Every structure is written in C-alpha cells, then in structure tokens.
Structure 1
Amino acid sequence: MDNLRLILFFTLAFLGLLIYQAWQQDYGVPAQLAAEQAAKQNGGLAPPQSGEDSGVPTAAVKADLPRAASGSAVPGEQQGGQNGQVIHVETDLLKLEISTQGGTVQRADLLQYFESLDTPDLKVELLSPSGSDLYIAQSGLIGSEKGEAPSHEAIYQTEQTNYAMGENQDQLVIPMVWKSDNGVTVTKQFTLNRGSYLIGVDYLIENQSGESWAARDYGQLQRVEPDGDGSGFTTYT
C-alpha cells in the first residue's frame, strides 16, 4: 500500500509538471515580451542585459539641464532668489510665493487645510524656501546651442508684486517677461483658476531677432535631503 501511494504521488507530480509546461507554452509571457512590458512600466527604458550598452546618454542629459550650482542659487525666503523679487499670489485655495528669478514657485500654502485643529491659522505648507524644509518647484527653457533661453536662473520682469483673486474673479494670470539681447521676448505666464490647485505654466514667445529660435521646457523639484545635514540638494526632474 505504501509503494502504491508513492507511485501515485510521483505520477501526480509528473502530470502537474506537464500541465504547467503546457500552460507556459500557451499562455506564458515570453522573456522578451516581459522585458518590453517592464520597460513600458518604467518610462520606456528596458533594463540592459549583461554587458549591453543601455544607450542612455546620462552624462549628456545631466549637462543639458541647468541646475542650481549651490545654495546661493536657490531662491531665499525673503530675497526671492539671488537677484530676484518675491511675487505674492493668493487664490481661494492657494497662497503662493513666486520668485522673479526663474519664475520659481518657492512657497505654497493650502488655505483650506491647517496643521491641526488647535492651530487653524497655521496652514499646511506644501512648498517652502527655508532651511531644512526647502522644497521648491523650478522650471525653465533650454535653448539651442546658438539661442539664449531663460532657465530657472534667469531674471524676469513683472509689473506688480501682489496678485489676488477677487470675489467675482474665476481666473488669475501672472505674467513675467524675459528679453534676450537679440530681440527674443519670452513671457512666462502662470494661470490659476478658482476651485483648482493646478498651476498652469505657459511660455509665450515673440521672436524679433530675424533668425530661427527654438527651445524646450523642463521642470524640476528641488529639496534638501530629509536625512542629511541640510547642506546638500536633491533635484527631481
């Protein structure tokens, strides 16, 4: 009886293996297809095989994207950047500070949310320009080799330093203007709508240089490492 049970056990195990192999042939995902699916889930970059060049120009990308070289290039809490001013913006949901250096959104408070029930006047701070809590949103344009474009370090001009959404106003537009030496004018325009937390950013280009001009936009979040000593910066693009 024990031998019969042992034979039945191995028979069932062998049949199970055959069924699994047949299922893999009919319904299994091939290794190449699995790699392609993984690549789609990871932003289109397939994991390189052993000894294979991934083809990603890491050095070129890092050199292509302007970054703050040190803490001095990051907009300060009051100064609005190394050379910029602070633009104060308030809607029904948001209270913002935007630096004219790069048009960096350096502070964002959520007016409908507060830190605790005991402190209703202390709103939740989403972005901050100060100290160990530094968390800012930078954006800009990268021009061609021959064309100058305003990065997040460029200085914009604006007609006023305070913008507030009125009671009967549904949209608030904040324009900032940058001009090159050869006749290219870029208006970086922030658009905020009533009832929305979305901050729209558009670039309006006026080319009076007499030559073709091209640029591409980028955005990045910069913050201090939470577990560090506050002396380094982390950038997310």
Structure 2
Amino acid sequence: MESQRNILVIALLLVSFLIWQQWQTDKAPQPETAQQSTQTSTGDDSFIPESDQAGGEVPTDAPVTASRQLVTLISDTLELTIDTQGGDIVRAELLEHDDELNSDDKFVLLSNGANFVNVAQSGLIGRDGPDASADGRPVYQAEQGEFRLAEGEDRLSVPLTFTNEAGVTFTKTFTLERGRYVVGVNYDIRNQSDKPVQAQLYAQLKQSESKPGDDGGSMLMASAYRGPAYSTSETRYSKYDFQDVREANLNQTTEGGWIGMLQHYFVSAWVAPENGENQLYTRFLNNQGQGIIGFKAPVTTVAAGAEQSLSAKLWLGPKLQDEMAEVAPNLDLTVDYGWLWFIAQPLFKLLQILQGFVVNWGLAIVLTTFVVRGIMYPLTKAQYTSMAKMRMLQPKLMALRERYGDDRQKMSQGMMELYKKEKVNPLGGCLPILIQMPIFISLYWVLMESVELRHAPFMLWIDDLSVRDPYFVLPILMGASMYVIQKMSPTTITDPMQQKVMQFMPIIFTFFFLWFPAGLTLYWLVSNVVTISQQWYIFRQLEKKGLHSKATS
C-alpha cells in the first residue's frame, strides 16, 4: 500500500470526521426566540419542581419580597452570592480560574442577569415546606452581608434562618471548604409547634437556553456540550439537552444520583442524598426561554418538638475528574471524551503522568507522541516493509494487467494468488493509519474537555495549548513536514489527477490545522517528525537487505 495513498486515507477520514462533527452541531433545531425575563441581579423568583402526590403543587411564580438582600461567601476557590429570598446561589466566581487568558477577571460560572440566567436553587416544599407557601418563598436572615474563610481555617459555615408563623425554625447552612469546589447545603428543621411538620428537599439548576456570544463552535471545530445532564443508579451518565427538555419532561426515580448543567471545562451539579428514592425532573419555561433540571428527595416528617436535618451537595467548578469522582459516583463522566473515551482516558492519564515530571503540558504532549509512536513502531516497520514488497511486485502486477486486460474477476484472482505466493499483505500498510486516526480524534477531545490544559502554556508564542496557534506557525511547520514525508516516499501513481491531489495534500491539511488547538497541531507535527525519522531509518535498514533498492529500481 502506497504511503501517498495512506495520506489520502487520512485526509478522507479527517474530513469525514470534521463534517460529521459540524453536522452534529448544526442538526439540532435553533431555539425559538424567547421573551427575555426582566430579572435583575437581585435574584429570580420562578422555581418549578415537578409536583407529585406526596410533595404537593409548587407555585410557578413567587412574589418578590422587598426585604431580600444579597449575601457574599468567599473561600480560597469560590466567591458565592446568595439571595436571602429562597437562599438561591445567583452568582459564583471561580477564584483560581481567569475568565480570559491573562485577565484580571475571574471566571463566572453562575450568574443572574437580564440576558442570561444560570442559577442554583434549592428549598423545602411539601405540605409545610416554606418554599411552597402561598405567600412566596421565605426570606432568610443572615448575621452579616459578607463571610470570608479566615486564614488558618479550613471550613466556612454560614447559617441563614427563617421562622414561620407556626413557630417552626428552618436553618439553611452553606459550607465551603478550603481548596474544594463542593458547597454543602444543609437544612435543619426545628419543629417547636404542637403538630408534625412535613417537608421535602428539592434542588435544581436553571439556565437560559440561548447565551449571548455562544456561536456553537468555530470553523471546522465542534463545540463543547452546554446543557443539562444527569446520572441515576441505572444510567451512569446521560445528556438531556435543552431540546429534550422542550419536548418532554424528565421523570426518573433513583437512589442517589445527580443532576447538572455542563459547559466547556466547567460544570455545576447537585448531588442528591444517597439514601432514599429521589425523583429527577426537568421543566422548560417557554415564556423565559429557560430550562430546569432538578431532583426531589423523599418527604420527611418531623414530629412536634423534634429536629431533623436534610442535606445535599453542590459542585461548582472545573471538570476535575479525580475530585468529582470523590464527590459522587459517575460525576467525573461529565468530562465527556465521546465514543473514543476508552482511548482518551488512558491518553489523558499518560499526559498527567508525564506532565508531573516535566511540569509543562506542551512537553507532555511531545513525550506522549514519542510514547505512542514508539508503541506503534512494529506496525510502522511492517507498513514500510509492506510498501517495499508491494513495489517489488509492480512489474508482475503490470504483467497481470496486460494478460487479463479488462477482465476484473480474473485480474483480482491473479492478484490474490500473487500476494499469497509472495507472502504480501496488501492491507499491511493501512493498519498504522487506522490506529493513528482514533488517537488523533481522542487527543482532540482530551484538549477540548480537560480543564488542566485550559490556558496551559508551552513555550515562546504558544501561551494556550487549548486554542489555535495565534501566528499559525505550528500549522505551517506541520504542512512542511507532510511535504517532506511526501517527497521521501517514492510512488508508482501514474494517474495525473491522483498525482495532483497528492501534491495538494500538505496545503489542504495545513488549512485544516489553522483552527485546531495548538496542542493538537503540536502532536501531529511531532508525529510527522518522528515519521520522517522512522521512515529514513527503516528504509535504510531495508536498503541494507536489498529489499528497498530492488523495490525502487
């Protein structure tokens, strides 16, 4: 199999992959133009947990209370803004992640503005739940307006309290821990009335379907998924995009589980209580263009004079696989490597190990390329040996063509007999190419999904491996390396059209790679350099055996 033809195979596979990715992005119907809500940064009042027989109906809209205020919680990793009406988190900044490269602004995961809403809500519904009151959601009381994790302390706990007319006190406590992105949310119900109290914990995430400036990906590049997802005891991980939410309400019952809103490199996710049957649900607010995904825990009864605690966990942060796996089963699957995850996962682990030694993700990519090509060396050697043998058979193949003319059946039979006699596998040169492409695609998704590579520098002008080379140096060098490989590989292609196509392949590939992440282009460039070295070495060894010289004579 000709090396030139192998390059064509790569091109066709790559183009097919890019077209398929773009089709995946474009095939979903565009969201309908939704009426923008008139919410301000002071918070939002609409919350719609699905009703059931035990929990009762929840009002769609709650009246705004003038006494509401905003409370700020600050740790070393998170800065949260909480609306005391309902105790919702209406803003979350990630203090260890810049919004843009070299920016002084921090990345905002949750926000509640006029044009885009992304908030984390929770409360108590049910017969006596304060969030199910006809008077509106409760307004909690806080001791002060700002709470900060003190030096030397590892935990910050902030209680918000509300007492209803019956004398039942509800204390909603937010807990932040140093170095972590998990927010603990705990409800203490102190029933000082003379009747039992029934309440049901719910938690949900609400987000606008359309986001200003969200174009769904750049040219030839698939965009990362943004939208709802969930996990149950039967389904480890499933996306449930906004279109799904529009078409049908999710209604899943599970022990444990979690619900989340995903976006590029980051995720917000409510983790339901492990014990008891939780109900996962979705709703779509057509008048506001917002989707909701949430869970409801079982109904809890608190006897007169007794106390009861209900709790959930909320992840607000980057997609850190090891840490998320500790918070909830399968939460790490939100790092979505696609259908080639079984290749991408070990590839990322290899990158992590190598980066631990060289402390540079770019160098780790270079070393990973050496490791991958080293593992593939036996196949690469077989590829070039097969190429040499195939060239040796060219005179005999030409003789078969002259003998059988246009009789394709006899020609094919004669070729198979010749390959069998000479012990040549005509497909032997294709295997390395077929293996290389899944690795290439897997590394693409590793760069797209692994937050560790976000804003990760390499050297010189490459200050972010997750985006394209700003000066297009790497794509040009990659195209030049392809040209060298092309010139090093003698060909027997005689068709003028095929020759022209092959001549333009380095230019076509260079054009493709202009928009690829710099880390991916770096991998392909180094891979080409290794290919040039291996090809030179293998052909030299074949020349010593006389195989290559005979094949090219």
Do the structures match in fold with TM over 0.5? yes
Question: Relative to 1, partners in 2 of residues 1:117 and 1:67: Cα closer, same or farther, differing over 3 Å?
Answer: farther
Cα drift, residue 197 of structure 1? 0.6
Question: When you count helix as a share of all residues, which structure comes out higher?
Answer: 2
Alpha carbons 1:85, 1:99 under 8 Å: kept: yes
Q: Counterpart of 1:220? A: 204
**Which amino acid in 2 is paired with 1:69?**
D
> What SS class does the counterpart of residue 189 from structure 1 fall into?
strand
Alpha carbons 1:101, 1:153 under 8 Å: kept: yes
Q: Counterpart of 2:107? A: 124
The superposition leaves residues 72-114 of structure 1 with CA deviations (integer Å, 9 ceiling, x where unpaired) of: 76xxxxxxx7651000111000011001010000000000001
> What SS class does the counterpart of residue 112 from structure 2 fall into?
coil
Aligned pairs for 1:80-91 (under 5 A) are 83-91=67-75
2:289 aligned with 1:235, yes or no?
Answer: no
Q: Counterpart of 2:346? A: none
TM-score where L is the length of structure 2? 0.28
Q: Counterpart of 1:113? A: 97
Which structure has the larger Rg over C-alpha atoms? 2
Distance 2:52 2:195 in 1: 26
Residue of structure 1 aligned with 2:83, choices 85, 93, 99: 99
Question: Relative to 1, partners in 2 of residues 1:226 and 1:182: Cα closer, same or farther, differing over 3 Å?
Answer: same
Cα drift, residue 225 of structure 1? 2.0
Distance 1:92 1:213 in 2: 38
Measured on the aligned residues, the alpha-carbon RMSD in Å equals: 2.7
Q: Counterpart of 1:149? A: 130
Segments of structure 2 that go 5 or more residues without pairing to the other structure are 1-49, 213-285, 295-553
Cα drift, residue 116 of structure 1? 1.9
Identity percentage over the alignment?
Answer: 35
Q: Counterpart of 1:203? A: 187
> What SS class does the counterpart of residue 121 from structure 2 fall into?
strand
Aligned pairs for 1:24-103 (under 5 A) are 60=52, 64=56, 66=58, 68-69=60-61, 83-103=67-87
Question: Relative to 1, partners in 2 of residues 1:230 and 1:223: Cα closer, same or farther, differing over 3 Å?
Answer: farther
Cα drift, residue 189 of structure 1? 0.6
TM-score where L is the length of structure 1? 0.63
Alpha carbons 1:104, 1:139 under 8 Å: kept: yes
Distance 2:114 2:126 in 1: 32
The superposition leaves residues 40-62 of structure 1 with CA deviations (integer Å, 9 ceiling, x where unpaired) of: xxxxxxxxxxxxxxxxxx7747x
Alpha carbons 2:81, 2:90 under 8 Å: kept: yes
Alpha carbons 1:220, 1:236 under 8 Å: kept: yes
Distance 2:287 2:208 in 1: 6
Residue of structure 2 aligned with 1:170, choices 136, 145, 154: 154
Alpha carbons 1:104, 1:136 under 8 Å: kept: yes
Question: Relative to 1, partners in 2 of residues 1:128 and 1:186: Cα closer, same or farther, differing over 3 Å?
Answer: same
Distance 1:203 1:159 in 2: 17
Question: Relative to 1, partners in 2 of residues 1:169 and 1:67: Cα closer, same or farther, differing over 3 Å?
Answer: farther
